[in-house]
Structure formats: C-alpha cells, structure tokens
Amino acid sequence: MNTITDLKTPEASGEAVVSAPFFYRGKLVEGSDQTHRSRDLGVTFATHAEGLDAAVQPRTEVPPLLNVPTTEIIDFLVETGVRIRDPKNEIFQDCIDRMCGTHILPREVVANQAYYATMMLDRQRLQAELDQNFPDPRALDEWVPKQDFTGRKSFVRAFAPRLIHVLPGNSPGVAVKSIAHGALVKGVNLFKMSSSDPFTTVAILRTMAEIDAGHPIVKSMSAVYFRGGDAATESILMRPQYFDKIVGWGGGDAINNLIKYTGPGLQLVSFDPKTSISMVGREAHASEEAQELAADLASADVMTLNQEACVASRFQFVEGTEEEVDRFCAKLHRRIAERAAASGDVRPYDMELKEAIETLSFLDDEFRVWGKPDGKGVVIRSEEPVDFHPINKTANVVRVDSLDDAVKWINVATQTVGFYPFDRMADYRDRLASGGAQRIVHLGEAGPSTIGNPHDAMYPLHRFVHWMAHEDGTIND
C-alpha cells in the first residue's frame, strides 16, 4: 500500500464531518475538498475531489488478475473474511463506528450484517458460485478449447471484464458480495459508493491491502464516492472506452440515470429494488397449532433485517374467511411484536405512513389494524394490498378466497414469495415466474438461499464477463 493516512475518529455529534477516504487500486486517498450529505441522519462526510484518471485502468493494460488462478483468488477472499471478522481489525471496527453515524439501523444490527455478509467468503461457497454460474469454470483461468460438429476449432475465454458497480447503501452485504464477484470474474472494478454507506467498501479493500498491498486483487479495485446523478463526473467515467458493464443497484431515477450512459459497448446489469411477499394457504387455519406455526414463519420473513431488506415480506396473501384470517393476523402481530422487542430497534415511525394506517383503522368496516403504527409492529388486514410501502415492522395481510387470486398482484418487482403449505408450491411456481417473481421459498426461509442460485432472475457472474473467442480453423480429417 502506497499511503495510509491516519484516520480521525468520527465525532459522535450528528453534524460532525466524518472522513470518507477513496481507494485507488491499492492507494488510499483522504481529503476534505468536498463535503456531502448522507441520507436519513443528516451526517456530513468529507472526501477528496475525485481524480478520475486514477479510477480508470487503461484498456491497453491487461487486467491484473487475468492470469491469477481462481483458486488463489478464492484463498485471498477467504483470508479477507477472516480478517474482517477479527475483532482486532481496527479498520473494520472504525468503519462500523462511522457507518452508525450514517445508517438507519442500530450498531449491533449493522455490525451483525457485516459479519454475516462475510460468511459468503467461504471456500466452498465461492467455488460453488463459479460452478453454478459457468458451464465450464475453467474458462476463467484459461482459453478453453472447443470444437463444433463440423470440425471447427476454437478457444473460448470468460475474459476479465471492466466493471463499474453503482452500489446501494442499505446493506454491507452488497459491498462484500460485489467485491467477491468482481474478484471472481477477475474484473477491473470501480465501486461507486452510496451516500448512506461511503465506508464499508473502502474498509474491505483496506483490509485486503493489509494482507498483500501488491496483490493483483488489490490492484484491480477502486472505490470512490460522487453524488449519483452528477453528470459532470458520470458522463466522463461511464464510457465504453473505460468499462464494459455498469452494474447498477436501485430503480426508478437511479437506473434511468444510468441508462443514459449505456449503449453499444457499455451494457447495464441491473439489480432492481424488490418487494417480497408471503402466500399462506387455508391449511394454516386447520388447527391452532398450524396457525401458530404459519404466523411464526410469516413473522420471521417480515422481520428479516427488521424489514429493511428486499427479501423481507411486506404483503401476506392469506387464504380463508375473514374470521380465519383475523385470527391469523392477531397471531402474526404478536410474533412480529415479540421479534421487534427483541431486536431493540426503536426507529421512529414515518409520519405519512402513520397517518395512512390510522386512517385505515377509522374505516373499520373494510380494514382492521392490530397494534399501532409506532415502530413496535403493526398488522393491517385488507381486501387488496394497501397503496403505501409497508416498512419498519409493518405487515399487510391481504385476505383472499383462493391463493389463485393473489397471483395477479405478482410483478417483476416481486422477488421472493414465501409459501405455505410447502406441498402446494409446485402448483404455483410457473404462474409466479410468469408474473415476474424470482424466488419461491418455504415460508419462514426468505433469508437463506441455495449457494450459487440465480439472483434477480440471472446468473450474474456469467453476465459480467467479456466472452472472447479465439477461432482456430478447421480440422479436415
């Protein structure tokens, strides 16, 4: 590592200016040329003015990781995970302190998320990702010989791509994952951090630089912050001369903004914002025990990362009579409230959302509300999904006569569908996929996923690489 600046401890006060250094292929650069506001808590952070040249590796230089075997990359990532989890890792402890100043979740939740995220930096898991994403993962390490039925020969390579990752800020897991994926495909990576987390990515990269500052992985990674939508910076960086793909998170304005820069030679791989739901069949009302179980499983999905994550369930379509569904709602509310109390999360409730839910409680011939919109857990029963986005421990149970009636509410923004009972899942999966959904899981298991499975309806690593063919003529015999 060329320079490591001593980092000032962030001050506790809400208006303190927190330093957010940039990372350029192994070099840490800190500055206070520019200050930026972070969302939610109104914290200001300072960065140096971006030096765009340092963030871009010329195409005349072959990507540094190209001929580093994937096994060595995996070794390095595994060691990175160990170092991040090490409580003596000052870089990372300091990062969590800084993040708590700019993050909407409590410190413990933030720290746990970061540690949990590093669990993916496991040898078997990383290998499985490669094995699932590529029909022949050797193509990452070498030019794989091919021959077609006419006898024509060639070599194919999953060539190291140049990627600019536009990261979200709601989960440190995305930072870990993006770095791991960027390394596995041997890419030249520039991470554009979010204002709500301008720290984690750099902390991971610094931890990597401590392992071996000269390693090609470290030389393949840069992380900067600029304000999303800053056309002066983006229009210079986001060009096909510099990058093959923009890996974009977010939706609406964020993605529409990135689309402006895409075109021939510069493609978009987008991870859209998602909403997840639950579907609960009438079998859940067969007995008190069954209902208790289904409500508990549903509450686990609602409360995934305290409902901040895309896999967290927001709408629960429950089959049954109003009386049956109301009994389910009461149990669901109790379970959510228990989990909310245990989490210690006491974020204030959004005023507009509170207003909307209170109004529904006045219209009690059509809606029913369990609990209060106070951040301690609330359940709303309605005949159609409510028109607001349930967040901060809010569940909207939609009563349906048949789960068939729930299918029309599925769309491309529906990521995960938690389903009960499990033996009816096969009956629904085709229709859910047709509607746009991307995962169907056992109710209560929104969080875990099979290692190497597709994400947001694609195999991302396969899409990241630059598929290159070397044609080698025909053998005539």
Binding site for another protein (CB under 8 A): 36-39, 42, 166-171, 174, 194-196, 227-229, 249-252, 254-256, 271-275, 308-310, 312, 348, 351-352, 355-356, 358-360, 362-363, 366-367, 382, 384, 386-387, 389, 391, 408, 411-414
Task: Tell the smallest beta-carbon distance from residue 263 to another protein (Å).
Answer: 20
Q: Which two tokens stand for residue 318?
A: 């429950």
Among candidates 470, 477, 462, 366, which has minimal Cα distance to 131? Answer: 462
Among candidates 235, 236, 237, which has minimal Cα distance to 260? Answer: 235
Sign of CA dihedral 270, 169, 115, 297: negative
* Number of other residues whose CB lies within 10 A of the CB of residue 90: 10
Give the single-character DSSP code of 224. E
Chain-centroid distance of CA 111 in Å reads 16
For another protein, give the closer residue by CB, 14 or 263: 14
For another protein, give the closer residue by CB, 169 or 460: 169
Task: Tell the smallest beta-carbon distance from residue 64 to another protein (Å).
Answer: 28
Task: Tell the smallest beta-carbon distance from residue 404 to another protein (Å).
Answer: 17
For another protein, give the closer residue by CB, 226 or 328: 226
Going by DSSP bridges, is the β-strand pair 152-159/144-147 parallel, antiparallel, or unpaired?
antiparallel
Task: Tell the smallest beta-carbon distance from residue 143 to another protein (Å).
Answer: 36
For another protein, give the closer residue by CB, 57 or 194: 194
Q: Which two tokens stand for residue 190?
A: 């520039």
Among candidates 188, 167, 190, 177, which has minimal Cα distance to 238? Answer: 190
For another protein, give the closer residue by CB, 284 or 353: 353
Task: Tell the smallest beta-carbon distance from residue 260 to another protein (Å).
Answer: 14
Chain-centroid distance of CA 27 in Å reads 26
Cα diameter, the chain: 83
Task: Tell the smallest beta-carbon distance from residue 405 to another protein (Å).
Answer: 14
For another protein, give the closer residue by CB, 271 or 328: 271
Task: Tell the smallest beta-carbon distance from residue 123 to another protein (Å).
Answer: 26
For another protein, give the closer residue by CB, 15 or 61: 15
The Cα–Cα gap between 69 and 67 comes to: 6
The enclosing H or E element of 128 equals helix 123-133
Task: Tell the smallest beta-carbon distance from residue 53 to another protein (Å).
Answer: 23
3-state secondary structure of 34: strand
For another protein, give the closer residue by CB, 143 or 367: 367
The Cα–Cα gap between 59 and 134 comes to: 25
